[in-house]
């Protein structure tokens, strides 16, 4: 089982796409472990996007992701990092296939509705950045997924 960090970006929250995105992950059979609507500060955003700090669009990217609330989530499932990236689709709307979240809802690469971790390492770092270590395990400890399926 893998865990990944999925975030509805401010444009997705603003357009009312949280429910649609949760629905797609639930229908796929993944388990939601934690979720929170939050507005993040620049330091959290800069740490989240640290791999892009040398890019010319880094400032704009941080401006955008801190411009309004995001819906941050931790999801669990088999091969979820790879599968969720397929469900999300490519970064650019000219490459994101119909049927993917970005293919169906995003019309520009600067504001493309959703983020998903691209590796085990980034998933760990991103989950810790948004939820911290203790909080990350709380829901799962209280109410394991195996128990939830039989409810
Ligand atoms: P992702 O992993 O598919 O989200 O894409 P990347 O890791 O390559 O880029 C991170 C995010 O930066 C993307 O999802 C876009 O929101 C944003 N981004 C990518 N290219 C540009 C750009 O040229 N300008 C701006 N403003 N943002 C960009
Ligand atoms: Mg990326």
Domains and CATH numbers, the chain: 2-144 (3.30.70.141)
ipTM: 0.97
Q: Separation of 151 CA from ligand 2 center, angstroms? A: 36
Q: Is beta strand 31-38 parallel, antiparallel or unpaired with respect to 114-116?
A: unpaired
Q: Please name the residues in contact with 93: beta carbons below 8 A apart, sequence gap of 6 or more.
A: 102, 103, 106, 107, 108, 109, 112
pLDDT in tens, 12-46: 999 999 999 999 999 999 999 999 999 999 999 99
Residue 37 CA to residue 18 CA, distance in Å, equals 10
Taking CA atoms only, the protein residue closest to ligand 1 atom 27 is 110
pLDDT, one tens digit per residue, over 66-123 is 999 999 999 999 999 999 999 999 999 999 999 999 999 999 999 999 999 999 999 9
Answer yes or no: 115 catalytic: yes
Count CB atoms within 10 A of the CB of residue 10: 20
SS3 134: helix
Task: List C-alpha distances in Å: 10 to 30, 41, 55, 63, 66.
Answer: 23, 13, 21, 11, 8
pTM value is 0.91
């Amino acid at each position: 089982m893998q865990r990944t960090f999925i975030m509805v970006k401010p444009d997705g929250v603003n357009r009312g796409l949280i429910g649609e995105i949760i629905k797609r992950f639930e229908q796929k059979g993944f388990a939601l472990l934690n979720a929170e609507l939050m507005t993040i500060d620049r330091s959290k955003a800069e740490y989240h996007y640290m791999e892009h700090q040398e890019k010319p669009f880094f400032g704009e990217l941080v401006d955008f992701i801190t411009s309004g609330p995001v819906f941050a989530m931790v999801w669990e499932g088999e091969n979820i990092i790879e599968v969720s990236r397929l469900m999300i689709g490519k970064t650019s709307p000219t490459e994101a296939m119909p049927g993917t979240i970005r293919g169906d809802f995003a019309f520009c690469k600067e504001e493309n509705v959703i983020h998903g971790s691209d590796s085990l390492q980034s998933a760990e770092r991103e989950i810790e950045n948004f939820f911290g270590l203790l909080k990350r395990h709380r829901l799962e400890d209280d109410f394991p997924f195996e128990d939830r399926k039989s409810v």
